[in-house]
Structure 1
Amino acid sequence: MKKIVYMFAVLAVSVGVIAAESKPNVLFIAVDDLKPWLGCYDHPVVKTPNIDRLAASGTVFRNTYCQVALCGPSRMSVLTGLRPDTTGIYSMGSGWASQQIGAARERVPGLKTIPQYFKEHGYTSLGFGKVFDSRNTDKHQDAVSWSNKGGVRWDWNTDLYPLKPVGGGYQDPVTRKILDEAYKEVTRLKMEKPQRTAYLSTIEGARPVCEALDLPDEAYAEGNVMTAPALEVIRQHSKNGKPFFLAVGYYKPHLPFVAPKKYWDLYDPEEFEIEPVQVYPKDGVAVAETDYIEARGFHPVPEEGPIPEALQRHMLHGYAACVSYVDAQVGKLLQALEESGVADNTIICLWGDHGFHLGDKQVWGKHTNYEQATEAPLIISSPAIPGGVVEDAAMTELVDLFPTLCELAGLEAPEKTDGRSLAGIMRGEELDAGKSAISQYMRQDEELGSVMGWAMRTSRYRYVEWRRIVNDDGNVTWSGNVVGCELYDYKNDPNETRNLATSIEHRGVMTELQQEFDRVMPHLPDRSLDTCDH
């Protein structure tokens, strides 16, 4: 763990014990598809001065991993403090993969969400934007979790396919006209996802992969739907003496890469280097690969085959512009806390729900168990703990957020959580560098049927075990039938160019990692069939 001195202004913090009669506020910032492309993670190009300012007041966790590289189940894991294998939520809330939060509450009696738990302990819990994914909850993003009856008023479709002048996505008049005409057909035929997306992808100009217009921040959802009402909450609730739990969920940098032109102007596209390895690992496992490349279907990304380098660089530019756009919104939130006089009594937690492939393995999206899809940024600032710390040794997980926020706020965490509090690490009291992080992904394979892959990340290695499962309309039963294994050594092969699971030289490493896997995954049956056995 390193103490870092940043060369810019630092948020005011108060070092000491938080008085019981003065509960700290909580600002909970979720950013969709945000990988660690941030200045405080030493990215050489991306400009994020406001998030870096937050980092200067808190702890930057450099080795944090999501539980599922997919927004819905990842957010459910974060917000319940429970792993997918506990809640049964592995995918989005549709079809056979559906396991809504109501079903999870039946499966886990007494299940609480973070905003619900804070609400029950005297907080006003409010949310704006994409906090949960509403496809895994009711349309109000789990109304019971929030203090206002309307829950979180946000429809994630608005950002991709806006039909109103204020909303989230495309603001180009030409694009909007094309979309308006297309939606007449969508409405007439009563299309549902994914049919709707497939249809829009066939219409030229309906889904441009990028947009850069000279518009104010408030022209898009990040400024209008998310930041503006959150600023008002901070101003109003900082005066009433009651602590608030405020969740703000930003949709960008999710595709399409749409942001005001001034954020594009921060960069020269030639600054961005395209990924050097755009193939899957040698000796890899076929089921580990994804058929779903999110960028395909956006114009002018080809539907198959290599993406031209100039277009890749343009998309990298767009992703960075979106990150800087979100960074500006974070800056407004921080400024509102300072101006309202509550910055020194507010816990701030900023996290990305998973990583994102930006061309490596020719993937533009998530939906894998590889490093680029599972690693996520995590920054936590607490008024009771000195900041400017970079934690680059301990392995941490997003499932750790629930118990961490409880301890920082002086609350006893729920009896049932699968994560651990990181507050001790923030205080420098403990450093469990040997801990591993677990991610997982479920696949439906034509030959193998339903398969689950569990990825265990240690400080050096990633061990992935793919097993057959029985999936009965979302009710998953695990098996000991191992159909594939992966092993990657990030010291010698950071780009995951070769799967070492069958390497004779790595027999000892495989044995050690399988033993550790069995230790941290005791709920899985013993291996009855192991295709990775040397």
Structure 2
Amino acid sequence: MRRAGKMFFMCVTPIVASLFSSAIAADEAEERPNVLFISVDDLKPWLGCYGDSVIKTPNIDRLASLGTVFKRSYCQIALCGPSRLSVMTGLRPDTTRVYSMGGEIFHIDTARKRAPHLRTLPGHFKANGYTSIGFGKLFDNRNTGSGQDVVSWSGRKGVRWEFNTDLYPEQPTRGGYQDPETRALIEEALKEAKKRGITKKRAVSDFLSGIEGTRPFFECLDIPDEAYPEGNLMAPPAVEAIKRFAKTKEPFFLGVGFYKPHLPFIAPKKYWDLYSPGDFDLASFQSYPEDGLAVSETDFIEGRVFHPIPTSGPISGELQRKMLHGYAACVSYVDAQVGKLLDALEETELLDDTIICLWGDHGFHLGDKQVWGKHTNFEQATRSPLIITSPFMQGGVMSDAVTEFIDVFPTLCELAGLESPRGLDGRSLVAEMSGDSPREAGAAVSQYMRNTDNGKVMGWAIRTPRYRYVEWRKISVKNLDYEFSGDVIGRELYDYKLDPEETRNFASSPEYRDVLRNMTQVFDETLKHLPERN
């Protein structure tokens, strides 16, 4: 698959990278590039295009060959809702004060009061004449309500999440399961929960976790793609939308949000059949770092709420390989849906008129530190794939620049020839996409908020090409807002050249005194809004 129609623009001369957006603006009335915006929940860079030799992702690899793979891209928070909001607004969590999900304090409308200049990515394209529509999980509705911030989208209902029974007759039950036995167990358990007056979503989930068979960590059935949301309510309507846009010729911003490989690991059997448990190596280091901090450890490990994963203690090698197998099957299932989108663009001859961005909202621990989930500031939770293509840019670029997800918004604006909203915290990556102007060595910021016996704390992590420095400080909340302090309760320092698995926290090591001093300086230069240390 080639994008020959416009590829020459970026091959003729390096300076075109700074000129092509002006050319687009001048010809805007006749032609605007479309945007296909693909999010994948819990996707780590466990892909062929990121150098993995086991995982089978031919379609995402095909996409990578058309654009730029950002090898060192980091989310702002390793948690669905706030990570997605940072991507969709181009603003750091410390600007919006959205650090989690649920309630008024973390709602996008409250964020708009804190940051009146806030504009969402689909909303910005909508305001500039694009039809913005979405299917699946793009924002997290716990931050936006139903419709995922309706005002950002062109349709009256916002993002659509409707299972099509014409494609498959039976909608999955709670948790996404289709297995009849699992369905029956869940149905009975839900009746019992209702009888006991258990109604809140988290409480119901906890209740189900205590009943054997109601929350299996995997499902492998010989059923079609359309039996599950990715192959039913996400990819198919997006394909139909592409075909419709090909006829109407209107410029579009099309968001497609895939839920897998989020737990539970559910995918049709044909994707499980691509692998065997023996294909996977277990994480070689399954403990938290030596000299680490208790506050850096997550108190919620998603994998352990599913059956038959033990709620605490070691997980057998056999079971770990089954979990790795399930994650891989889900990744390949999503990859097949991405392929359907690419095929639709190619068949409608829109591929050469469309910018494509694929990203995972954060990484995912697959057994390292005995964690099966995210919710940390460590490498496996914060690093996630970012692939961006443009018909005006060369393909097959592998960027080593340290980038952040807040960079996506200004990048897509520049590629489309739109002026970015004022006040964005990120910066455009178009120069990196040219392959000629790599970004200067910088730092990516990830952070995570914890509740402790002594109140709330925030860990801010600064990731440079070699090191990660984390500083945990006390914070407080008042009147739906947060106040930071200079009260540092702990520090972490990791060296990824000598210790890529984070086996040791070097913050108190004498031999790293100079490194710690330098990283503290980078921290202060990057996070200028934080108070001076006490």
**TM superposition score normalised by structure 2:** 0.93
- What CA deviation, in whole Å up to 9, does each residue of 1:138-168 have, x standing for no partner? 2110000000001113389xxxxx9945897
Other structure's SS at 1:245 match: strand
2:420 is the counterpart of 1:404: no
Which one is further off, 183-192 or 103-112?
Answer: 183-192
TM-fit CA distance, 1:94:
3.5
**Which amino acid letter does the alignment assign opposite residue 462 of structure 1?**
R
2:465 is the counterpart of 1:459: yes
2:483 corresponding residue in structure 1: 477
**Which amino acid letter does the alignment assign opposite residue 485 of structure 1?**
R
Verify the 8 A CA contact 2:234 2:258 in the aligned structure 1. yes
The within-5 A match list for 1:115-514 is: 115-154=122-161, 164-165=171-172, 169-188=176-195, 189-392=197-400, 394-446=401-453, 448-472=454-478, 474-514=480-520
Other structure's SS at 1:69 match: coil
Other structure's SS at 2:100 match: coil
TM-fit CA distance, 1:403:
0.3
From 500, 525, 528, the equivalent of 1:522 is: 528
**Which amino acid letter does the alignment assign opposite residue 478 of structure 2?**
D
Higher helix proportion (structure 1 or 2): 2
Other structure's SS at 2:98 match: coil
2:55 corresponding residue in structure 1: 46
Ranges in structure 1 where 5+ consecutive residues have no aligned partner = 1-8, 157-161, 529-534
**Which amino acid letter does the alignment assign opposite residue 261 of structure 1?**
K
- What CA deviation, in whole Å up to 9, does each residue of 1:11-64 have, x standing for no partner? 556222444231011000000000001000001200000000000000000000
**Which amino acid letter does the alignment assign opposite residue 244 of structure 2?**
Q
2:16 corresponding residue in structure 1: none
2:12 corresponding residue in structure 1: none
Other structure's SS at 1:179 match: helix
The within-5 A match list for 1:12-161 is: 14-15=6-7, 16=9, 17=20, 18=24, 19-20=27-28, 21-94=30-103, 98-154=105-161
Verify the 8 A CA contact 1:88 1:475 in the aligned structure 2. yes
**Partners of 1:202 and 1:462 in 2: how far apart?**
38
**Which amino acid letter does the alignment assign opposite residue 6 of structure 2?**
S
Other structure's SS at 1:215 match: coil
Verify the 8 A CA contact 2:304 2:312 in the aligned structure 1. yes
**Which amino acid letter does the alignment assign opposite residue 312 of structure 2?**
E
Verify the 8 A CA contact 2:174 2:186 in the aligned structure 1. no
TM-fit CA distance, 1:424:
1.4
**Partners of 1:163 and 1:435 in 2: how far apart?**
50
TM-fit CA distance, 1:239:
1.3
**Which amino acid letter does the alignment assign opposite residue 439 of structure 1?**
S
**Partners of 2:479 and 2:335 in 1: how far apart?**
40
**Which amino acid letter does the alignment assign opposite residue 497 of structure 1?**
T
Fraction of identical pairs, as percent: 61
Verify the 8 A CA contact 1:13 1:386 in the aligned structure 2. no
CA spacing shift, 1:41–1:506, aligned 2, 3 Å? same
Verify the 8 A CA contact 1:163 1:180 in the aligned structure 2. no
- What CA deviation, in whole Å up to 9, does each residue of 1:105-160 have, x standing for no partner? 1111131100000001010000000000000002110000000001113389xxxx
Other structure's SS at 1:63 match: strand
**Partners of 1:491 and 1:424 in 2: how far apart?**
26
**Partners of 1:74 and 1:439 in 2: how far apart?**
10
**Partners of 1:210 and 1:167 in 2: how far apart?**
14
**Partners of 1:324 and 1:500 in 2: how far apart?**
37
**Partners of 2:263 and 2:480 in 1: how far apart?**
28
CA spacing shift, 1:469–1:412, aligned 2, 3 Å? same
**Partners of 1:445 and 1:194 in 2: how far apart?**
21
**Partners of 2:174 and 2:218 in 1: how far apart?**
17
**Partners of 2:84 and 2:436 in 1: how far apart?**
28
Verify the 8 A CA contact 1:27 1:246 in the aligned structure 2. yes
Verify the 8 A CA contact 1:168 1:222 in the aligned structure 2. no
**Which amino acid letter does the alignment assign opposite residue 58 of structure 1?**
G
**Which amino acid letter does the alignment assign opposite residue 435 of structure 1?**
G
**Partners of 1:99 and 1:321 in 2: how far apart?**
33
Which runs of at least 4 in structure 1 moved beyond 3 Å after TM superposition?
Answer: 9-13, 162-168
Other structure's SS at 1:399 match: helix
Verify the 8 A CA contact 2:462 2:470 in the aligned structure 1. yes
**Partners of 1:145 and 1:172 in 2: how far apart?**
36
Other structure's SS at 1:395 match: strand
TM-fit CA distance, 1:513:
0.6
Aligned positions, number = 511
1:3 corresponding residue in structure 2: none
**Which amino acid letter does the alignment assign opposite residue 353 of structure 2?**
N
TM-fit CA distance, 1:408:
0.2
**Which amino acid letter does the alignment assign opposite residue 92 of structure 1?**
M
TM-fit CA distance, 1:194:
1.8
**Partners of 2:323 and 2:425 in 1: how far apart?**
37
TM-fit CA distance, 1:103:
0.5
Verify the 8 A CA contact 2:43 2:384 in the aligned structure 1. yes
TM-fit CA distance, 1:406:
0.2
**Partners of 1:186 and 1:136 in 2: how far apart?**
26
Verify the 8 A CA contact 2:67 2:396 in the aligned structure 1. yes
**Which amino acid letter does the alignment assign opposite residue 462 of structure 2?**
M
TM-fit CA distance, 1:208:
0.5
Verify the 8 A CA contact 1:119 1:145 in the aligned structure 2. yes
Verify the 8 A CA contact 1:404 1:421 in the aligned structure 2. yes
Ranges in structure 2 where 5+ consecutive residues have no aligned partner = 10-19, 164-168
Other structure's SS at 2:415 match: helix
**Which amino acid letter does the alignment assign opposite residue 453 of structure 1?**
G
Which one is further off, 85-94 or 368-377?
Answer: 85-94
